Structure 1
Amino acid sequence: MQGFYDKDLYRIAREKMVKSQIVARGIKDEKVIQAMLKVPRHLFVEEALRDQAYGDFPLPIGKGQTISQPYIVALMTEALELKGKERVLEVGTGSGYQTAILAEIALWVYTIERDPDLSEKAKKVLLSLGYKNISLKIGDGSLGWPEAAPFDAIIVTAASPQIPQPLVDQLAEGGRIVIPVGDEFSQILVKGIKKDGILKIQTLEPVRFVKLVGAYGFKE
């Protein structure tokens, strides 16, 4: 009986999160809203933090990394303009929560994580939830995943001093990339749309992410 009670409480918390943090702030994409309602965010954080999983803030997941604030996850996902047939590259698997949201909408998600322990932990949760449209890789996310390119959409969940050129090269014509760009203390979330091989940039809003460490990101 306890398990059913817990599930019900998490479902209620998730519905409240979507209503007050996602819809109330202007997220309109129904696919994103439904994904946020479905994915059990509490399973992607440590057990001790599960009662905070649906709060309006990021949470630590170990190794100096965080699971992003729910609104930011929704905002970045909506900006990708996913319709359901896309092949998406995610740079920075982290907890795997953003990966799951993408997998609910896209055809296939390719996700790269620098830290092997985080990647393994995320893989276990994603498999336990039954996702079969995700490929995981350990490596330098700033280099992208050339063997799987081109991608219809790219999402970078760590801050970079600039948009890494390999990611621009691996983005399909007409594709969208969403990435926080700035220094290690503050960034602007930007969206790039590839037209005739060049990115047309839109700025979304100020954000603060952990650093993207790699050949085309911040140096270690």
Structure 2
Amino acid sequence: MRLIHTALFAAVAAVGLTACNKPAETTTPEPTPATDTAPAADAAAAANDAPPAMTSEAHANHTAMAELAPTQGNNVKGNVTFSVVDGKVHVKGAISGLKPNSEHGFHIHEKGDCSAPNGDSAGGHFNPSKEDHGNVATTPHHGGDIPNIKADAQGNAVVDADVSTNVNIGEGNDFDIIGRGLIVHADPDDYKTQPTGNAGARLACAVIKAAP
């Protein structure tokens, strides 16, 4: 009987020793997938460096200017600015060298070319809609029709008038006044004679340019 107990004790001890000697199981944690933040970071940096998006309004320059220079044998000169006021093209400026207390035709012409001594290189009136000549306050009229300018006793004229409603500044289409000519005539426009208003010779010429 003692032998059975001894053998049983030995077997139990052997099992215990085996369990104690067995290395502990270790679990290796699954690697966490790395989050690729580089593209997002690059995109954010690019967005910070990129210029702000420009709207069509920003692309279009709605201001223009013209510096009038005298044609051969004349002394008329001046500076005017075209801008959009209440949705309409408006011209403002000052002209000098005119005869005292005189009145003169003032028109946008089709070509921005003042190379001819008499200003004829500017062509005829700017008329993109192919209308008859007339007063800008009524219809029909040319796109380049502007009210007459009037000189004071010193031969200076202040320009402050609306231009035809069917023209624009800087939109790049057939009705855009940028790149066109601007003429001061020797005589007043009668607003009826076709196609020039019988405004006579050209005293000064300018090329209408986009304002900087």
TM-score (norm 1): 0.23
Higher RCO, Cα 8 Å, sep 6+? 2
Query: Highest CA radius of gyration, 1 or 2?
Result: 2
| Greater helix fraction, Structure 1 or Structure 2 | 1
TM-score (norm 2): 0.24
